[in-house]
A and B are shown apart, each in its own frame.
Chain A
Amino acid sequence: MSLDQRLQTTSLTIRADERVVLLGASGAGKTTLIKLCNGSLQPSRGALQWRGQPLKRLPRHERRSIGTFWQDLRLVEELSVVQNINSGALGRHGLIWALRNLLGVLEKDACLAVMQEVHLNPSLLKRAVTELSGGQRQRVALARLLRQSPELVLADEPLSALDPVIARDVLDTLLSLPGCLISLHRPDLIHRFERVLGLRNGALVLDAAPDMISKTQLEWLYGRS
């Protein structure tokens, strides 16, 4: 199946300081849109731009301004908590810094600060990520994202399989960043965003402020009416 069959969005603009939620039933094209936005998928037609520049040819300092919170976390299993968190800062440093990070604890205070923000116990700093619980691993991924200091965060169903307390913490942290595009299966949370995008069968069918959206529209989005 080609990409244009999965997603037929014609034109979409997202401001870097906007908090946007992406809704739609499974298979509607949410993940495809997120992957297109972070450049891990290329569109079969059309173009993607970030601040007027083609996404594919962004310079290094611009690439790091878009961060992604992956559903499967994508931690480096062979590294410790601090090394994983520091890997978020690779976009700001050179190879020597990267090698030093692999040798020991680097910029410990900066790591502790983001760990505190995501409620991660500082004693876990040097622990291998393989030894952590699911919730702790989620927070490490979040801390790595904060360490990257992106201007726009893309997140694909970040709250799935999380208990309510952790889910609330994760969402709070993501919303504390300047801008975000988050795909969710939680219509009850749309009031926390400034803009709602709705996808159905690969087409963008809804683009409005949360208070302009009715319950019927949401039910139609999920194919119930």
Chain B
Amino acid sequence: MVVRTFVKPALPLLTLLPGLCLIPVVAILVRDGHGGGLPLLIQFAQGAVQPSFDPTLLKSLWQGLQITGVTAVLSWAISSGLGLIFGFLGSRTLWRTVLGTPWPAVLVRRLLSPFRAIHELIWGLLLLQVYGLNAWVAIAAIVIPYSALMARVLADQIDCHDSPALPVLQGSGGLAMAVLLTAVFPAVFASIKHHIGHRLDCALRSALILGVFGLGGLGTDLMLSLQSLQFRDMWSGLWLLAIAMVLLDFILQTIPRRPRIGFVVGIALVLLVVWSASLNLDLSWPSGSFGSVFSGLVADRNAATAALFEINWGAAIGSTLLITLMASCIATAVPPLLLLLSPSQSSLRLQSLIWAALRLVPTPLTALLLLVMAKPSLPLAALALGLHHSGVMGRVLMKDIRETGFGSAQILERSGATVRMSWLYGPLAEVSRSYLAYASYRCDVILRDTVVVGIVGSAGLGWQLIDALSSFHWWLVAWLVLAFIVLTLCGETITDQLQQRLNCKAVGL
């Protein structure tokens, strides 16, 4: 028998192959590792089962969680409203129906793209320099990219829906907007609602990250606990956060099934915001202007050129891309590898817990924990980023597999295949297309998130940007932000093409 092999990996294998990246990453971490941090890691693990119950600490953490919650809810509510408006304006279907041409939609999309390309942390640090520490800074930092991101997702949802009723209603002479609302909006309403709901979860995480970098709330408390090696205190905060996230997840899942509960939750959220007036949260309108920054930029034009040649762009961009690549590979491959390591319906619950735990700890804290065990390096930054995002990818994989069912695995098992092979050719194969499409979208998010771990790798654009911001080097900040925008938009273009090749559009979560 002639055996010939053409190397063309099938989709289920493509979910596993990025796992090869773990080999060099682990090898470098072993090389750079030191045993000195082991007692600290043991203390950290012990803190999980023995969190602190000191009343003063718990009160402080509770207030921190409230501040993070209020920041998240306000930024989510504002960005949802703006996202809906800009989403409609960015829809090609809308403009085709109204004007007969899609170019205004293209214009809106182009104008919004730089806003979503910049990570909320960059927005936060930029606004912090201009307006000082103020709750609106954190809220605006989340609102700006989230509105633009949500607008893009909503516009895509509307444009992707090919309504057979649209030409019929247009032919009946209805108003363009009325036709659109009747023919398209009901069909995409469920997914839009789902997406808006999910953004609340994202806003909570973003508010936490901003807190880690000093913008207040629970993130700041967690960072201070970690820096002072008070792991029991840190775990008290993490458990509090876990309870909040589980509650939020429960609420988001319950609302579509029982709208009355949604109403009650809505009232509770409004009360939470009203109650925030009693919190140590400065919601007064911030003073300050971009004038101080712009005057610094205009005063010395030669500084622009000087700043441009100040850093090694090749190395900075290269290391950013390398972190993105490694982190994306880790995030994509770890969930399917763990699934095949323990392929059974009963183990899915345990795996879901692992993914929830990885999502719980903010990336900078994971990176700092890893730094206890190894020297700073690009693989370490990538591992921290990759593990956090594998938590998100793991959740997507579990959800897809539960929705698809286990029938295919049972059938393959009945025909004599082993359990592992049955899961590889059954449930994993069935979800691989949508999983890879989502992974390609996740690469964009990871590229934006490199700024968060840049400081750990001591390399890349993120580290340079934080350094430039700290030294008020505005021209370098401007160039670095521009580089981030270009990189993110290039990344989006590539992943869009990947999704087209996979014939599957990932709904941006």
Contact = CB atoms under 8 A, between A and B. Distances in A.
Contacts, number: 107
Nearest to A94: B418
B424 to A, nearest CB: 6
Contacts of A67: 415
Contacts of A103: 5, 7-10, 13
A87 B10 CA distance: 13
A211 interface: no
Interface stretch (A72-80, A115-123, A186-194): A72-80
Interface in A104-146: 104-110, 126
A51 interface: no
A83 B5 CA distance: 12
Given A78-B433, A104-B7, A90 B408 contact: no
Contact of A148 (B415, B424, B433): B415
Contacts of B309: none
A91 B8 contact: no
A40 B13 CA distance: 27
Contact of B12 (A38, A100, A102): A102
Interface residues of A, number: 40
B415 A91 contact: yes
A103 B11 CA distance: 9
Interface string B1-44: 11111111111110010000000000000000000000000000
A91 B417 contact: yes
Contact of A78 (B1, B407, B417, B432): B432
B252 interface: no
Contact of A74 (B1, B411, B420): B411
B4 A79 contact: no
A78 B10 CA distance: 7
Contact of A99 (B13, B413, B415): B13
The residue among A68, A70, A79 with the most chain B CB atoms within 10 A of its own CB is A79
B430 interface: yes
Nearest to B431: A78
A90 B7 contact: no
Given A95-B420, A95-B421, A79 B10 contact: yes
12 contacts: A61-B416, A64-B416, A76-B408, A78-B430, A79-B12, A90-B417, A98-B424, A98-B425, A100-B5, A102-B12, A107-B1, A110-B1
Closest 3 CB pairs of A and B: A91-B416, A64-B416, A90-B417
